[in-house]
Amino acid sequence: MSCGLKCSKGLKICCGVTSIFLIVVLVILLVLFLTDFKRKDPTITLQSVKFGRFMFDVTPIIDLNASLAILVTVDNPNHGSFTYQNSTAYLHYRGRLLAEAPLHEDTIPALKSHNISTVLNVYVDVTEVPDLLGDYLSGIISFTSITNLVGKVKILKFIKIKATSYSTCEILVYTRNQTVNSICNIQLKL
Ligand SMILES: *[C@@H]1O[C@H](CO)[C@@H](O)[C@H](O)[C@H]1NC(C)=O
Ligand SMILES: *[C@@H]1O[C@H](CO)[C@@H](O)[C@H](O)[C@H]1NC(C)=O
Ligand SMILES: *[C@@H]1O[C@H](CO)[C@@H](O)[C@H](O)[C@H]1NC(C)=O
Ligand SMILES: *[C@@H]1O[C@H](CO)[C@@H](O)[C@H](O)[C@H]1NC(C)=O
């Protein structure tokens, strides 16, 4: 009987200490997040685009089968690194899926810029994108790329949080001077 009383008293103390500890940890995390670890959105810069294969085929349909080697630099201004799983980037033109690029699993380190290279595979029936020629002649072709990355954010070497990054980029190709400009919007959901 006396033991039972002691044990439950011990349990109460134990519970109390645990919850105080948890609250302290939560408060520390909250303070870290709100001050020094306040998230800033990373930036993506398109470094280079190089044509690999480029084939026009006229039978049985007029199609374009091309590959582009792409190098992008991701600048991560955050104190957390981001490790993501294998994924795919999609390129749309006027609402139509035009190309896909595999993204190999990788880690974007904290407070650094990191290069990611991939190969964009384009396969398109030219007759299904009648606006392409007109856009080409007008001087600007606008593409949208969508990439969702599932992974983990790591802060202070020991805190790991599951996170998904959603990025949408508007890619403008100026056909006259052959330059590419991109504007990206990246969101990280924890
Ligand atoms: C595009 O060309 C590559 C290389 O010749 C070939 O392996 C691939 O199957 C082609 N893609 C399609 C969809 O025909
Ligand atoms: C990711 O893709 C690479 C090849 O592109 C493959 O070797 C690796 O096993 C994949 N990883 C996972 C977890 O599926
Ligand atoms: C990324 O690639 C660019 C262009 O090749 C290069 O100038 C830069 O130093 C590279 N950055 C890193 C972090 O490797
Ligand atoms: C290319 O042309 C576009 C529009 O004509 C212009 O906005 C852009 O600054 C040009 N880029 C370069 C590098 O000249």
Return the pLDDT at 118.
87
Q: Closest residue (by CA) to atom 3 of ligand 4?
A: 174
Q: CB–CB of 157/120 below 8 Å?
A: no
Strands (E), 138-178: 140-155, 159-174
Return the pLDDT at 70.
83
Q: CB–CB of 186/165 below 8 Å?
A: yes
Residue-wise pLDDT tens digits, 14-59 = 777 777 777 777 766 666 555 555 567 777 777 877 777 777 676 6
For ligand 3, say whether the CB of 117 is within 6 Å of any of its atoms: no
Q: What is the mean pLDDT of residues 70-79?
A: 84
Work out the mean pLDDT of the chain and round it to a whole number.
Answer: 79
Q: Closest residue (by CA) to atom 5 of ligand 2?
A: 104
Structure-token match 């969101």, residue found: 187
pTM over 0.75: no
Structure tokens at 91: 């390129």
84: CA distance to ligand 1 center in Å? 28
Helices (H), the chain: 2-34, 131-138
Distance, CA of 123 to CA of 125 (rounded, Å):
7
Q: CB–CB of 101/88 below 8 Å?
A: yes
Return the pLDDT at 31.
60
* CB-based burial label for 98 (10 Å; 0-12, 13-18, 19+): buried
For ligand 4, say whether the CB of 138 is within 6 Å of any of its atoms: no
Q: Residue 188: which pLDDT band, with cuts at 50, 70 and 90?
A: confident
Choose the residue to mutate in 47, 49, 114 for probing ligand 3, maximizing ligand atoms within 8 Å of C-beta.
47
The three-state secondary structure class of 31 is helix
Distance, CA of 96 to CA of 129 (rounded, Å):
8
